[in-house]
Structure 1
């Protein structure tokens, strides 16, 4: 399998992934990702070069967004001085479930963050999705805290405030990495 940077034509596939994941999550009793995600906002993240696709031949097995930008209101000023990269929208197609592709994508992200000079790979997860939280803990993330107050970037109530991190590190993820080399992070500590 190959990791590539997403291209504008991937918007349709990414929106379909999100809907597929939302349906699956609803079947598990979660309202995560139940709100539609604006295609224009997704396109902006693709154009910023932060969205990556996991390709299996002509099929897309998964996606991950990896950015040096933290969502506003989640991390403290002190934490934001530490070189970090942030995982968002990790999704694996249901037909590829059970192969730990998500865990391998997290390893890929940690490796990419390390090569960019990050100390931490960080994420926020849906506050009420305890199964997802256990998944991240099983993949060596440590819970930092849960933020419940405030307003999310999209203007709605804060629903994704379970914060976790793990050290960015070199990792064998088993993918062919065809994404451009990461830019070095610039931090004023």
Structure 2
């Protein structure tokens, strides 16, 4: 997966955002302006939204909620840029529970895709001005 993420970061058409700590990258996420058509309906895809994918954080900072803080930044960024929704998907049951129960995401549906059971989640874009993290798009 690291090779895939590195390839995305180097691709000019894939908007990867990084979370920095000092002068090092400690997390990243990819924000797409289109949600996958196999996971979201045409009506949902017509709504202004960001699709958050490929989010990872440095395991050296476990238990500091960097992924959660990065997701809050995305919710704020989406609201500031005129989006109504932030969407994401995962096939990892523990992440579904964490996103739903800790981060407040709502499960929309499950779909089988490429041999995996993918869970679609969404949250309304919301201003969170005190999220207090620094990011940079690359």
* TM-score normalised by length of structure 1: 0.65
Query: How far off is 1:130 after superposition?
Result: 1.2
Change (3 A) 1:58 1:177: closer
Aligned to 1:92: 57
Query: Structure 1 stretches of 5 or more lacking a match?
Result: 1-17, 20-35, 151-156, 181-189
Please identify which structure carries the higher strand content.
2
Aligned to 2:132: 174
Query: Structure 2 stretches of 5 or more lacking a match?
Result: none
Helix, strand or coil at the partner of 2:4:
coil
Aligned to 1:147: 111
* TM-score normalised by length of structure 2: 0.87
Residue pair 1:69, 1:85 contacting (<8 A) in 2 also: yes
Deviating above 4 A after TM superposition, structure 1's stretches of 4 or more consecutive aligned residues are 38-42, 177-180
Taking the aligned partners of 1:57 and 1:100, their CA distance within structure 2 comes to: 17
How many aligned positions are there?
136
Cα RMSD (Å): 2.2
The structure whose Rg is larger is: 1
Aligned to 1:107: 72
Query: How far off is 1:71 after superposition?
Result: 2.1
Taking the aligned partners of 1:38 and 1:113, their CA distance within structure 2 comes to: 22
